[in-house]
Structure 1
Amino acid sequence: MDTGSAGGGGEGQIKGVLTHNGRYVQYNVYGNLFEVSTKYVPPIRPIGRGAYGIVCAAVNSQTQEEVAIKKIGNAFDNRIDAKRTLREIKLLRHMDHENIFIPNGHGLNNAYFKAVHGNILVIPGLAKIV
Protein backbone atom coordinates (compact mmCIF):
# COMPACT_ATOMS: atom_id res chain seq x y z
CA MET A 1 0.00 0.00 0.00
CA ASP A 2 1.54 3.27 -1.08
CA THR A 3 0.25 6.38 0.66
CA GLY A 4 2.64 8.74 -1.08
CA SER A 5 6.33 9.39 -1.13
CA ALA A 6 8.51 7.70 1.44
CA GLY A 7 9.83 9.91 4.14
CA GLY A 8 9.57 10.90 7.72
CA GLY A 9 10.60 14.50 7.66
CA GLY A 10 7.07 15.86 7.71
CA GLU A 11 6.94 16.89 4.04
CA GLY A 12 4.35 15.04 2.00
CA GLN A 13 2.93 11.69 2.85
CA ILE A 14 4.71 8.68 4.25
CA LYS A 15 4.70 5.35 2.43
CA GLY A 16 2.77 2.61 4.21
CA VAL A 17 3.14 -1.16 3.88
CA LEU A 18 0.29 -3.58 4.70
CA THR A 19 1.13 -6.15 7.39
CA HIS A 20 -0.65 -8.91 9.34
CA ASN A 21 -2.79 -10.06 6.40
CA GLY A 22 -3.83 -6.51 5.58
CA ARG A 23 -5.15 -5.65 9.04
CA TYR A 24 -2.40 -3.14 9.81
CA VAL A 25 -0.25 -0.63 7.97
CA GLN A 26 3.39 -0.07 8.87
CA TYR A 27 4.98 3.36 8.44
CA ASN A 28 8.58 4.46 8.86
CA VAL A 29 8.53 7.78 10.72
CA TYR A 30 11.91 9.35 11.49
CA GLY A 31 13.44 5.87 11.31
CA ASN A 32 10.89 4.39 13.77
CA LEU A 33 8.27 1.86 12.73
CA PHE A 34 4.65 2.71 13.47
CA GLU A 35 2.13 -0.08 12.90
CA VAL A 36 -1.47 1.04 13.09
CA SER A 37 -4.81 -0.54 12.32
CA THR A 38 -6.12 -0.01 8.81
CA LYS A 39 -8.98 1.94 10.39
CA TYR A 40 -6.51 4.84 10.49
CA VAL A 41 -6.59 6.05 6.92
CA PRO A 42 -3.59 7.55 5.17
CA PRO A 43 -1.91 9.88 5.31
CA ILE A 44 -0.19 9.40 8.63
CA ARG A 45 1.96 12.41 9.29
CA PRO A 46 4.51 13.26 11.95
CA ILE A 47 3.52 16.20 14.14
CA GLY A 48 6.27 16.15 16.73
CA ARG A 49 9.13 14.33 18.35
CA GLY A 50 11.14 14.67 21.49
CA ALA A 51 13.45 12.83 23.82
CA TYR A 52 10.82 10.26 24.79
CA GLY A 53 8.76 9.71 21.70
CA ILE A 54 7.28 10.57 18.36
CA VAL A 55 3.75 11.80 17.73
CA CYS A 56 1.89 11.23 14.46
CA ALA A 57 -1.53 12.31 13.26
CA ALA A 58 -4.01 10.12 11.39
CA VAL A 59 -7.76 9.95 10.75
CA ASN A 60 -10.01 7.26 12.24
CA SER A 61 -12.07 6.05 9.27
CA GLN A 62 -14.88 4.85 11.56
CA THR A 63 -15.42 8.18 13.34
CA GLN A 64 -13.73 10.60 10.91
CA GLU A 65 -11.89 12.06 13.90
CA GLU A 66 -8.27 13.08 13.67
CA VAL A 67 -6.14 11.27 16.23
CA ALA A 68 -2.63 11.69 17.54
CA ILE A 69 -0.60 8.56 18.25
CA LYS A 70 2.44 8.78 20.51
CA LYS A 71 5.06 6.07 20.45
CA ILE A 72 7.53 5.83 23.29
CA GLY A 73 10.31 3.58 22.02
CA ASN A 74 12.08 1.27 24.43
CA ALA A 75 9.99 2.66 27.28
CA PHE A 76 10.87 -0.21 29.57
CA ASP A 77 14.42 -1.03 28.52
CA ASN A 78 15.96 0.51 31.62
CA ARG A 79 14.74 1.34 35.08
CA ILE A 80 14.82 5.14 34.73
CA ASP A 81 12.86 5.23 31.46
CA ALA A 82 10.40 2.67 32.82
CA LYS A 83 9.78 4.85 35.88
CA ARG A 84 9.25 7.93 33.72
CA THR A 85 6.82 6.12 31.44
CA LEU A 86 4.85 4.64 34.32
CA ARG A 87 4.81 8.03 36.06
CA GLU A 88 3.23 9.59 32.96
CA ILE A 89 0.61 6.83 32.82
CA LYS A 90 -0.16 7.21 36.54
CA LEU A 91 -0.48 10.99 36.22
CA LEU A 92 -2.93 10.60 33.35
CA ARG A 93 -4.97 8.08 35.36
CA HIS A 94 -4.89 10.32 38.43
CA MET A 95 -6.33 13.26 36.48
CA ASP A 96 -9.64 11.39 36.30
CA HIS A 97 -10.88 13.74 33.57
CA GLU A 98 -13.76 12.85 31.26
CA ASN A 99 -11.54 13.31 28.19
CA ILE A 100 -8.83 10.97 29.43
CA PHE A 101 -9.31 7.23 29.08
CA ILE A 102 -6.62 4.67 29.73
CA PRO A 103 -7.56 0.99 29.53
CA ASN A 104 -6.27 -1.17 32.34
CA GLY A 105 -3.70 -3.30 31.31
CA HIS A 106 -1.12 -5.48 30.07
CA GLY A 107 2.62 -5.67 30.25
CA LEU A 108 3.88 -2.76 28.21
CA ASN A 109 6.87 -3.16 25.95
CA ASN A 110 6.54 0.02 23.93
CA ALA A 111 3.72 2.34 24.91
CA TYR A 112 1.49 4.23 22.53
CA PHE A 113 -0.69 7.06 23.72
CA LYS A 114 -3.51 7.96 21.46
CA ALA A 115 -5.33 11.29 21.75
CA VAL A 116 -8.69 11.67 20.09
CA HIS A 117 -9.89 15.26 20.45
CA GLY A 118 -8.48 15.32 23.96
CA ASN A 119 -9.22 11.69 24.80
CA ILE A 120 -5.99 9.95 25.71
CA LEU A 121 -5.54 6.19 25.83
CA VAL A 122 -2.61 3.94 26.34
CA ILE A 123 -2.51 1.09 23.86
CA PRO A 124 0.02 -1.40 25.21
CA GLY A 125 2.56 -3.23 23.15
CA LEU A 126 1.53 -1.93 19.75
CA ALA A 127 5.10 -1.33 18.67
CA LYS A 128 5.75 -5.06 18.63
CA ILE A 129 2.28 -6.58 18.32
CA VAL A 130 0.43 -4.45 15.80
Structure 2
Amino acid sequence: MGPRGAQLLAALLVLGLCALAGAEKPSPCQCSRLSPKNRKNCGFPGITSDECFDSGCCFDSSVAGVPWCFYPLPKEENEQCVMEVAARVNCGYPGISREECVSQQCCFDDLVFQVPWCFYPKPVEDCHY
Protein backbone atom coordinates (compact mmCIF):
# COMPACT_ATOMS: atom_id res chain seq x y z
CA MET A 1 0.00 0.00 0.00
CA GLY A 2 1.34 3.39 -1.00
CA PRO A 3 1.37 6.59 1.06
CA ARG A 4 -1.92 7.73 -0.49
CA GLY A 5 -3.63 4.46 0.47
CA ALA A 6 -2.31 4.68 4.02
CA GLN A 7 -3.64 8.23 4.35
CA LEU A 8 -7.04 7.16 3.07
CA LEU A 9 -7.13 4.22 5.47
CA ALA A 10 -6.18 6.47 8.40
CA ALA A 11 -8.89 8.98 7.48
CA LEU A 12 -11.51 6.23 7.27
CA LEU A 13 -10.47 4.84 10.65
CA VAL A 14 -10.74 8.28 12.27
CA LEU A 15 -14.18 8.86 10.72
CA GLY A 16 -15.36 5.45 11.88
CA LEU A 17 -14.16 6.05 15.43
CA CYS A 18 -15.79 9.47 15.50
CA ALA A 19 -19.08 7.99 14.31
CA LEU A 20 -18.97 5.32 17.02
CA ALA A 21 -18.08 7.82 19.72
CA GLY A 22 -20.86 10.21 18.67
CA ALA A 23 -23.56 7.56 18.36
CA GLU A 24 -25.90 7.69 21.33
CA LYS A 25 -29.20 5.83 21.47
CA PRO A 26 -31.96 8.39 21.01
CA SER A 27 -34.61 8.86 23.67
CA PRO A 28 -38.09 7.39 23.16
CA CYS A 29 -39.53 10.90 22.65
CA GLN A 30 -37.05 11.62 19.87
CA CYS A 31 -38.37 8.56 18.00
CA SER A 32 -42.06 8.12 18.81
CA ARG A 33 -43.00 11.76 18.32
CA LEU A 34 -41.77 11.82 14.72
CA SER A 35 -44.54 11.29 12.19
CA PRO A 36 -43.83 8.25 9.95
CA LYS A 37 -44.30 10.38 6.81
CA ASN A 38 -41.45 12.68 7.98
CA ARG A 39 -38.89 9.92 8.58
CA LYS A 40 -35.49 10.31 6.88
CA ASN A 41 -33.69 7.04 6.17
CA CYS A 42 -30.72 6.34 8.44
CA GLY A 43 -29.97 2.74 7.54
CA PHE A 44 -29.76 0.18 4.79
CA PRO A 45 -32.09 -2.62 3.68
CA GLY A 46 -32.10 -5.39 6.28
CA ILE A 47 -30.59 -3.32 9.11
CA THR A 48 -31.40 -4.71 12.55
CA SER A 49 -32.78 -2.62 15.39
CA ASP A 50 -29.49 -3.04 17.30
CA GLU A 51 -27.44 -1.84 14.32
CA CYS A 52 -29.80 1.09 13.87
CA PHE A 53 -29.69 2.12 17.55
CA ASP A 54 -25.89 1.66 17.58
CA SER A 55 -25.66 4.30 14.85
CA GLY A 56 -27.69 6.75 16.95
CA CYS A 57 -30.92 6.33 14.99
CA CYS A 58 -34.49 5.23 15.73
CA PHE A 59 -36.00 1.90 14.67
CA ASP A 60 -39.69 1.13 14.20
CA SER A 61 -40.83 -1.61 11.82
CA SER A 62 -44.55 -1.24 12.56
CA VAL A 63 -45.32 1.08 9.62
CA ALA A 64 -44.99 -0.25 6.07
CA GLY A 65 -43.75 1.93 3.21
CA VAL A 66 -41.56 4.25 5.32
CA PRO A 67 -37.98 3.93 6.60
CA TRP A 68 -37.71 1.65 9.62
CA CYS A 69 -34.32 3.03 10.64
CA PHE A 70 -34.58 6.82 10.70
CA TYR A 71 -32.98 9.94 12.12
CA PRO A 72 -34.43 11.09 15.48
CA LEU A 73 -35.91 14.45 16.36
CA PRO A 74 -33.32 16.85 17.81
CA LYS A 75 -32.39 16.28 21.44
CA GLU A 76 -33.76 18.85 23.89
CA GLU A 77 -32.79 19.59 27.49
CA ASN A 78 -36.34 18.78 28.56
CA GLU A 79 -37.87 15.62 27.05
CA GLN A 80 -41.30 17.26 27.21
CA CYS A 81 -40.10 19.78 24.60
CA VAL A 82 -39.12 17.16 22.00
CA MET A 83 -41.68 17.36 19.18
CA GLU A 84 -42.08 18.17 15.53
CA VAL A 85 -42.53 21.88 14.88
CA ALA A 86 -45.98 21.21 13.39
CA ALA A 87 -47.08 19.81 16.77
CA ARG A 88 -46.25 22.99 18.70
CA VAL A 89 -49.14 24.74 20.44
CA ASN A 90 -48.47 28.41 21.13
CA CYS A 91 -47.83 29.33 24.76
CA GLY A 92 -46.68 32.89 24.27
CA TYR A 93 -46.77 35.85 21.94
CA PRO A 94 -44.50 37.19 19.19
CA GLY A 95 -41.25 38.45 20.68
CA ILE A 96 -41.56 36.63 24.02
CA SER A 97 -38.20 36.11 25.71
CA ARG A 98 -36.81 32.71 26.63
CA GLU A 99 -36.91 33.65 30.32
CA GLU A 100 -40.56 34.72 30.26
CA CYS A 101 -41.57 31.62 28.29
CA VAL A 102 -39.76 29.26 30.65
CA SER A 103 -41.25 31.06 33.66
CA GLN A 104 -44.68 29.96 32.31
CA GLN A 105 -43.46 26.32 32.32
CA CYS A 106 -43.35 26.31 28.52
CA CYS A 107 -40.71 25.26 25.99
CA PHE A 108 -38.68 27.77 23.97
CA ASP A 109 -36.92 27.24 20.64
CA ASP A 110 -36.32 30.15 18.28
CA LEU A 111 -34.45 28.24 15.55
CA VAL A 112 -37.42 27.78 13.18
CA PHE A 113 -39.28 30.78 11.77
CA GLN A 114 -43.06 31.01 11.34
CA VAL A 115 -43.86 28.50 14.11
CA PRO A 116 -44.43 29.17 17.82
CA TRP A 117 -41.14 29.71 19.65
CA CYS A 118 -42.81 29.43 23.03
CA PHE A 119 -44.96 26.30 23.12
CA TYR A 120 -46.64 23.94 25.54
CA PRO A 121 -44.72 20.82 26.56
CA LYS A 122 -46.06 17.30 26.00
CA PRO A 123 -46.15 14.70 28.76
CA VAL A 124 -43.30 12.20 28.55
CA GLU A 125 -45.72 9.32 29.23
CA ASP A 126 -46.74 9.36 25.55
CA CYS A 127 -43.19 8.47 24.51
CA HIS A 128 -42.51 4.80 23.87
CA TYR A 129 -40.54 2.39 21.68
TM-score bucket of the superposed structures, by smaller chain: under 0.3
The structure that is helix-richer by fraction is 2
- TM-score, structure 1 normalization: 0.25
Q: Which is strand-richer, 1 or 2?
A: 1
Higher relative contact order (CA 8 A, sep 6+): 2
Question: Normalising to structure 2: TM-score of the pair?
Answer: 0.25
